[in-house]
Amino acid sequence: MNYFLGLIVATLAVHLSFSHLGQTPDRYWDLVAFAMVFGGTIAVSLIILPWSSFRLLFSGFLKIGFHRLQNKKEFLKTNVEFLQSIQLGLPRPQLTESKF
How does pLDDT run across 22-59, given as a tens digit for each residue? 888 777 778 888 899 889 988 887 788 777 777 777 77
Burial class (CB in 10 A: 0-12, 13-18, 19+), 79: middle
Residues with Cβ within 8 Å of residue 74, at least 6 apart in sequence: 99
> CA neighbours within 13 Å on the CB side: how many for 63?
16
Confidence of residue 67 (pLDDT cuts 50, 70, 90): low
Residues with Cβ within 8 Å of residue 95, at least 6 apart in sequence: 56, 60, 78, 82
Inform me whether the pLDDT recorded for 73 exceeds 70.
yes
CA distance 93 to 75: 14
**Global pTM exceeds 0.95:** no
Least confidently predicted of 6-20, 22-36, 69-83: 69-83
